[in-house]
Amino acid sequence: MATHEEINQSLEAFEKAYTGNSRLKVMNRDWDRNVLILAEDIESVHTLTLKGGNLSFGQGKIAEPDLTVISNSDILADMFFGDITPTEPYMNGTLRIIGSEDDILRLDFISLLIWGE
Amino acid sequence: MKRIVSVSLGSSRRDHSVNTKLLGIDFEISRRGTDGNFDKALDLLKELDGNVDAIGLGGIDLYLYAGKTRYAVSDGLKLMEAVKKTPVVDGSGLKNTLERETVYYLRRNSRLLPDGCKVLMVSAVDRFGMAEALTEMGCEMTFGDLIFSAGIPYPIKSVEELEEIARKTLPEMTKMPFHMLYPTGEKQDTQDQKKVEKHGHYYHEADVIAGDYHLVRRYMPGDLKGQVVITNTTTRDDVKFLKEKGVGWLVTTTPELEGRSFGTNVMEAALVVLLGKNWEDITPGDYLELMNRLQMKPRVQRL
């Protein structure tokens, strides 16, 4: 089981990798979204915010979400650290994403463009 | 009589059957759509296995490409593995050869593809050969893979960048349900109006629009100014649709049989039967030689 702090660190790593990728900022300049990250096995809630191509995150629910990502703490930490891709947990149901299919696909692409081989 | 059936995840409204003769051999070629119903496609494939000479898989790709590396599409593999006895192909083997040749043919025999012309490929990872050939011909390329598949308004401008992005995304994206990546079933008969409005300008800015017909159709805006469309499979209704949108020329990469061009998977299935070799043993040279014997040329049509 990962801790809230580990999930926080994984999101910091994700934010850093995103911010260092100028192409991703161009790709997402039209995509303003709030993404709620919920761990189901520990008390841990974060919000990722994409606005004008920039990404930031904060602890707790800080805005009404367009997308909600729910999984256990290990998967969330592993995913945002880039140790696993979201595809497999998403396909086997251990990662749930609530939102439109287009937004889910786009979030998946962003993750792959950050961490993909 | 050789029987070839194309089983497609696409709409059954496009079903069609023709009898034709290739190199003196009679063929019955038919297409059966399953309206996006994956299980129905699986059942149909099992029913046909061992009872026809070759099967084409339509409306789905078995492989997507990042340069020379190919990635198997999970859903496509599941369909292929349902067939145990009959040769089954998705068109990807022939596509690489046929579509490259189409580009070279147009450069040699028409003014539709001049040096420096602006080409929009709605998707290129499903036809990397065409992407490379168009680049080789000096076309100014826009690859719309991210724009139309992922909704990310980022035009990829070179084969190198396409390959780099494909290497990062394809290994995982090919595991997703195919309907998340490509219009299947009734989506093939409708347009995505939101994306048409948002991304239609890429069509207007291009001289040539190339790629899979269902993708070309799904995002095509109106008021085009006589652009050239290079694609694979069209019916009479499709030709009417393209004309209404303002397309000037239609080039289809597979030859016409009784008023319509069949999918590359169908043509590959026919060629596999004619070659009488295992699919894995067939080389691009085999396809090229047979295409020359059949005098296969792209269909170029003024709309």
For residue B75, what is the domain's CATH number? 3.40.50
Q: Is residue B303 part of a domain?
A: no
Task: Report whether pLDDT(B257) > 80.
Answer: no
The mean pLDDT of B142-156, rounded to a whole number, is 94
Which of A103, A113, A114, A117 should we substitute to test contact with B (largest number of B Cβ atoms within 10 Å)? A113
Q: Rounded distance, CA A9 to CA A12, Å?
A: 5
At B293, give phi and psi (nearest 5°).
Answer: -65, -35
Q: Which residues of B touch A106 (CB under 8 A)?
A: 150-152
Residue ranges of domains in chain A: 4-115
Q: At what angle do helices B264-275 and B284-293 cross, to 10 degrees?
A: 90
Residues B107 and B222 in one domain: yes
Q: Which residues of B touch A87 (CB under 8 A)?
A: 172-173, 175-176
B60 shares a domain with B145: no
| Same domain (yes/no): B148, B277 | no
Task: Indicate if B242 and B155 belong to the same structural domain.
Answer: yes
- Copy the structure tokens of residue B283: 């080389």
Beta strands in chain A (DSSP E): 33-39, 45-51, 54-59, 67-71, 96-98
Using an 8 Å Cβ cutoff, are B20 and B27 in contact? Answer: yes
Q: Where are the beta strands (DSSP E) in B132-247?
A: 140-143, 208-210, 228-231
In chain B, the largest separation of any two C-alpha atoms, in whole Å, equals: 50
Helix or strand (DSSP H, E) at B22: strand B16-22
- In this predicted structure, the answer to whether residue A117 has a pLDDT above a threshold of 60 is no
- Note whether B180 contacts A28, CB cutoff 8 Å: no
pLDDT band for position B260 (cuts 50, 70, 90): low
Q: Residue B169's closest chain A neighbor by CA?
A: A112
Task: Tell me if B150 and A109 make a contact (CB, 8 A cut-off).
Answer: yes
* Shared-domain flag, residues B81 and B184: no
Q: Which CATH class is domain A4-115?
A: alpha beta
Cα nearest neighbour of B195 on chain A:
A102
Using a CB-CB distance cutoff of 8 angstroms, which residues of chain B are in contact with residue A27? 146, 152-154
Q: Is the dihedral of CA A23, A27, A33, A37 positive or negative?
A: negative
Find out whether B220 and B240 touch, Cβ atoms under 8 Å: no
Answer yes or no: do B153 and A101 touch at CB < 8 A.
Answer: no
Listing from the earlier edge strand, what are the strands of the sheet with B228-231?
B140-143, B118-121, B208-210, B228-231, B249-252, B299-302
Model confidence at B258, pLDDT cuts 50, 70, 90, reads low
Task: For residue B153, give the chain A residue with the closest CA.
Answer: A27
CA dist., res. B158 & res. B48, Å (int): 42
pLDDT tens digits along B39-86: 999 999 999 999 999 999 988 888 888 888 889 998 889 999 999 999
Rounded Cα distance, B201 and B221, in Å? 8
**B116 and B218: one domain?**
yes
Q: What would the mean pLDDT of B5-29 be, rounded to a whole number? A: 88
Q: Do residues B80 and B106 share a domain?
A: no
> Token pair of B47, please?
């029913």
* Chain A residue with Cα closest to B198: A30
Residue B8: CB partners within 8 Å, gap ≥ 6? B14, B31, B32, B33, B34, B41, B57, B58, B59, B60, B263
ipTM of the prediction greater than 0.90, yes or no: no
Distance from CA of A22 to the nearest CA of B (A): 12
Rounded CA-CA distance B137/B151 in Å is: 28
Are B236 and B282 contained in the same domain?
A: no
Interface probe for B, chosen from A90, A108, A111, A115 (most Cβ of B below 10 Å), is A108
B154 vs A26, A91, A102: nearest CB: A26
Render pLDDT for B190-244 as a digit per residue (tens, 0 to 9).
899 999 999 999 999 999 999 999 999 999 999 999 999 999 878 889 999 999 9
Q: How many residues does chain B have?
A: 303
Indicate which of B147, B149, B169 best probes the interface with A, i.e. most A CBs within 10 Å of its own CB: B169
φ/ψ of residue B57, rounded to 5:
-105, 120
Interface test mutation site (partner B, options A105, A106, A117, max chain B beta carbons within 10 A): A105
Of these ranges, A6-10, A82-86, B98-102, B126-130, the one predicted with the greatest mean pLDDT is A6-10
Verify that B38 and B187 share a domain, yes or no. Answer: no
- Rounded Cα–Cα distance for residues A71 and A33 (Å): 19
Number of helical H runs and strand E runs in chain A: 5, 5
Task: Say if residue B242 is in the same domain as residue B102.
Answer: yes
Q: Do B176 and A91 touch (CB under 8 A)?
A: yes
Number of domains in chain B: 2
A35: β partners:
A48, A67
pLDDT for the residue B182:
79
Range(s) of the domain holding residue B183:
95-252
Q: Give the helix ranges, DSSP H, for B56-189.
A: 74-81, 92-109, 128-136, 150, 159-173
- Cα of A27 to nearest chain B Cα, Å: 5
What's the rounded mean pLDDT across residues B85-106? Answer: 90
